[in-house]
Amino acid sequence: MTPGNVLLALRSLLWTVLMPGMVAGYIPWRYLGLNAVTFVPGNARQLLGLASAILGVALLAECIWEFARRGRGTLSPVDPPVHLVVEGLYKYVRNPMYVAVTLIVLGEAVIAASWTVFFYWVCFFIAANVFVVGYEEPWLRRQFGESYEQYTRHVRCWVPRLTPYRVGDQDPVALGGA
């Protein structure tokens, strides 16, 4: 592993702890009562919540890996990828990291049977939408131009496609769709 790759891995780890680690880990644990929940292995509701959270963690890890490997950057807006990432889960949905954090926090709400954690997720999702629309997408349009525009015409913001996007797919707008 080159020194540049080691540094990128450390930066990715740092931002993972500081961002989704705080949002989906520390805050619900410390302030929303997850630390007081008793997990009962035979409880179907808690098992469903655990499955959601584990799936979210796995999806988040895959996205962070794609950002580092293909984009040469991290999930942080102050240390973003230098290449547009349209591989991996990004072939299906434009914001898989936010979807992953959603799965984690909703899983925590189900495990804890907590309306407080659910309301926290609602606040997170609203804030994520405002951030994506107000900052992230305009920045991506400026940074990557037509390639990002093409990508947005094919891949939805929050609802995954059933088939993977491929660069060069027919433009649905030009075909009279979308």
Instruction: Tell me the pLDDT tens digit for each residue of 115-140.
Output: 999 999 999 999 999 999 999 999 99
Does a structural domain hold residue 65? yes
Q: How far apart are CA 39 and CA 20, in angstroms?
A: 22
Q: How far apart are CA 168 and CA 142, in angstroms?
A: 20
In a domain, 172, yes or no: no
What pTM did the predictor assign?
A: 0.89
pLDDT digits (tens, 9 = 90+) for 18-47: 899 999 999 999 999 999 999 998 999 999
> Does residue 127 belong to any structural domain of this protein?
yes
Which residue type is seen at 95? N
At 52, the pLDDT band (50, 70, 90 cuts) reads very high
CA dihedral 131→132→134→136, nearest 10 degrees, is 100
Average pLDDT, integer, range 56-67: 93
What SS3 state is found at 5? helix
Residue 55 is part of which domain span? 3-154
> Given a cut of 50, is residue 177 above it in pLDDT?
no
Domain annotation covers residue 13: yes
- Determine contact, residues 113/47, Cβ cutoff 8 Å: no
CATH number at residue 121: 1.20.120.1630
C-alpha–C-alpha distance, residues 161 and 157, integer Å: 10
- Residue 49 CB neighbour total at 10 angstroms: 23
Identify the residue whose tokens are 């993972």. 16
The answer to the question of residue 94 being in a domain is yes
- On the question of pLDDT at 79 being above 60, the answer is yes
CA distance 171 to 178: 9
The sign one gets for the Cα dihedral 55, 148, 20, 128 is negative
Summary mean pLDDT of the chain: 90
User: What's the structural domain count of the chain?
Assistant: 1
Angle at 43 between CA 29 and CA 62, to 5 degrees: 55
Angle at 71 (CA atoms; ends 63, 2), nearest 5 degrees: 100
Whether 9 is in a domain gets the answer: yes
